Structure 1
Amino acid sequence: MPSPAEREREGAAEAGRDGAAARPAAAGVLVVAGDLLEDIVVWASEPIRAATDTAAQVFRSRGGSAANVAALAAPRTPTRFLGCVGPDGAGDALAAALAATGVDVRLQRRGLIGAVVLLVDPQGERTMFPDRAAASLLEHVDPAWLDGVAWLHLPSYGFEHEPMRSELRRLVAAARQRGAGVSIDASSTGLLEGLGVERVLGWIAELRPDVLFANETEAALLGIAGGGAVAASVARAVVVKHGPAPTEVFEGGELARRVEVAPVAGVRDLTGAGDAFAAGFLAATLQGADAAGACRAGHAAAASVLTNPGASTTRPA
């Protein structure tokens, strides 16, 4: 996996070949573009009983896959979030909550606030009911919002609807021109199936991220679980997470690393674990870690959310 410095040199060389002026050195900002939502997390205290009451605890918090990555990366590396929320008090509260984590928050304001209801069973597995609303309305991003970008990260949720889908593709091109790395998270099997697997693979291959993140079910659906030609065609590196089993890193379609995962006691909620992994992995990568070191940083970040509601590192009082 090429380092940020190597990508910067490659970008400068490509700019020179195209006759354009070389880009300035990246300032090291991780930019995350995507959803900032309200999470309504329901922890079922017993097996879910259809058509009647099930005992539960309910938590409300700032959420959204992209916002989760930004919030969890900010303590580790300079981080900026690009998104859209409603122009109301609820949107103000989400923006303030994200900014309080240390993220440089850049928002467009229109539409209605988005939300996700997350139903979490007693084993920690979650079922999600998303309404992205304003989160999918991002468009015509101010070019200055990419100033200093060293890496751009995009959850695939952002590709679900227009105009955001086209805007994210434009942001990738703009980030590349600035010598930045790019990563995409596969995000959800439901999303991938709804959009069409072949269609999504085509988009990813066109964008050619430096890193594609996927859990084992997403990787199986995309046909990249064991590396191979498809994995090689869509990304320079594919990182496949297997829960408590070792994480695999494929480069050029070949297995390059298998990284053990330290056990985590008291797992209660898997929500946000993949976002936390991406946050730790990317922050470590920007600080010069190799793939194995980045995976270990990702594992540590993921462990920090597994005992709490949603993507939080603390249990609400």
Structure 2
Amino acid sequence: MRPPRVVAVGDVAVDVLVEPGSAMITGADVPARIRTRAGGAGANTAAWLAHLGADVTLVARVGDDVAGRAAEADLRAAGVRPALAVDPELPTCTVVVLLADGDRTMLSDRGAAARLAPADLPSLDGADHLHLSGYVLLDPSSRAAGLAALARARDGGLSTSVDPQVAPALGPGFADDVRGVDLLLPNAAELAALGGVAALGDLVGAVAATDGPGAAHWTDRTGTWTARPPDTAVVDATGAGDAFDAGVLVAWLSGAGPQAALEAGCAAGAAAVGRLGARP
């Protein structure tokens, strides 16, 4: 079998990882360990897809800056084919990730990513599947690109998947946008914001939902399957969901059933949390 050919559409970012050495105090100078890593939900998923054996192209928009050029080099080194539009005005997306006890709080400036446009989308000829990051749909300035990507995929006979990504921003409009998607990949908070599995049954083909260290569930019209992630010491939870998405997709697109796809997703998510940074 040839590897599945996936086009991922989403953000490329620079992640600034900040681990405070003590409790945050307003107005004080708090010692911290600070590092930068390649990030962005779309780019992370693409890197994990390539790591797990997929033939993957990433569609994104970056700034005309050092970070954007470095991002392209990083993607190529990870085995991802970059299809990056360059914005002449806005900088490459930057995300500050505050790490504490294995959890994280993210402060995001989407920059050039917010201006992803339908004209930035390449041909989907030869692809099997389109995966879309929810950040693209949830930002009004890039939503048209996300809708266009899904429409082109459906017209071209590709299967589709979407990771919702931001629970507080989800609502009825998002549910309408993902109507007809083959696989939705929410976490527990996102699933609750969308009304639960029952509310999605007539909208999407299947739902593969994570719940942090708890069990993941696949639900479609034929039944429900459950898998638990392996026990792993959490170093950095950033990108765990992106890795889960990739694990599920590579297994599913290669012919695996729901149970095996869930187990592959859980294994990839566990690998992600056991290291610093969001990429393999």
TM-score, length-scaled by structure 2: 0.92
Instruction: For 1:221 and 1:307, locate their aligned partners in 2 and report how far apart those are by CA, in whole Å.
Output: 28
CA distance in 1, matches of 2:214, 2:4: 32
Distance 1:283 1:250 in 2: 18
State which of 284, 288, 291 in structure 1 corresponds to 2:255: 288
For residues 284-314 of structure 1, what are the alpha-carbon distances to aligned partners after superposition, in whole Å with 9 as ceiling and x for unaligned?
111111111111111111112213223033x
Instruction: Provide the C-alpha distance between the structure 1 equivalents of 2:139 and 2:229, rounded to a whole number of angstroms.
Output: 35
SS at structure 2 position matched to 1:244:
coil
Counterpart in the other structure of 1:43: 19
How far did 1:143 drift?
6.3
CA-to-aligned-CA distance 1:233-277 (integer Å, 9 cap, x gap): 22110111112221111113x75111122111x212111000000
Matched-pair contact (CA < 8 Å) for 1:137–1:162: no
Tell me which amino acid in the other structure corresponds to 1:64.
G
Q: Could you say which residue in structure 2 is the equivalent of 1:210? A: 182
Alignment of 1:64-79 (within 5 A): 64-75=40-51, 76-79=53-56
Q: Is 1:306 the equivalent of 2:268?
A: no
Q: What secondary structure, in the 3-state scheme, does the structure 2 residue paired with 1:269 have?
A: coil
3-state SS in 2 of match to 1:67: helix
Matching residue of 2:133: 155
Q: Structure 2 counterpart of 1:102, which letter?
A: G
The whole-number CA distance in structure 2 between the counterparts of 1:44 and 1:127 is 12
The DSSP-based 3-state class of the residue aligned with 1:153 is: strand
Aligned residues: 276
> Which whole-Å CA distance do the structure 2 matches of 1:256 and 1:79 have between them?
29
Instruction: Name the aligned partner's letter for residue 240 of structure 1.
Output: A
Matched residues in 2 for 1:62 and 1:140: separation? 25
Q: How does 1:160-199 map to 2 (within 5 A)?
A: 160-192=138-170, 197-199=171-173
Higher deviation after alignment, 79-88 or 154-163: 154-163
1:220 aligns with 2:212: no
| CA apart distance, 1:27 | 8.3
1:106 matches 2:80: no
For the aligned residues, what is the CA RMSD?
A: 1.9
Change over 3 Å in CA distance of 1:55–1:191 after alignment to 2? farther
* Percentage of matched positions with identical amino acids: 32
Q: Equivalents in 1 of 2:271, 2:73: separation in Å?
A: 22
The alpha-carbon deviation at position 49 of structure 1 amounts to 3.6
Q: Which stretch shows the higher mean deviation, 280-289 or 48-57?
A: 48-57
What does residue 239 of structure 2 align with?
A: 272
**Distance in 1 separating the partners of 2:121 and 2:66:** 27
Counterpart in the other structure of 2:210: 241
* Structure 1 letter corresponding to 2:113: A
Question: Does 1:80 pair with 2:47?
Answer: no
1:68-147 matches, cutoff 5 A? 68-75=44-51, 76-110=53-87, 111-121=90-100, 123-141=101-119, 144-147=122-125
Q: Once the two structures are superposed, what CA deviation does each residue of 1:159-195 show, in whole Å capped at 9, x if it has no partner?
A: 1334421111111111112211100111022333xxx
Residue 215 of structure 2 aligns with an amino acid whose one-letter code is P
Structure 1 segments unaligned to the other structure (5+ residues):
1-25
Asked if the contact 2:98–2:104 (Cα under 8 Å) also holds between the matched residues in 1, the reply is: yes
Confirm or deny: 8 A CA contact 2:226 2:262 kept in the other structure. Answer: no
Q: In the TM superposition, what is the alpha-carbon distance from 1:55 to its structure 2 partner? A: 3.5
Cα offset, 1:88, TM superposition? 2.3
How many Å separate the matches in 1 of 2:261 and 2:162? Answer: 16
Q: Distance in 2 between matches of 1:171 and 1:36?
A: 17
Whole-angstrom distance in 2 between the partners of 1:215 and 1:163: 24
Q: Which has the larger radius of gyration?
A: 1
> Which residue in 2 is equivalent to 1:201?
175
Structure 1 stretch displaced more, 183-192 or 73-82: 183-192
The match for 1:21 is: none
Letter in 2 for 1:236: G
Report Cα offsets for 1:66-104 as digits up to 9, x if no partner.
000001111221111001101222211111111110001
Question: What's the counterpart of residue 9 of structure 1?
Answer: none
Secondary structure (helix, strand or coil) at the match of 2:178 reads: helix
Cross-structure match for 2:229: 261
What SS does structure 2 have at the residue aligned with 1:304? helix
Change (3 A) 1:69 1:247: same
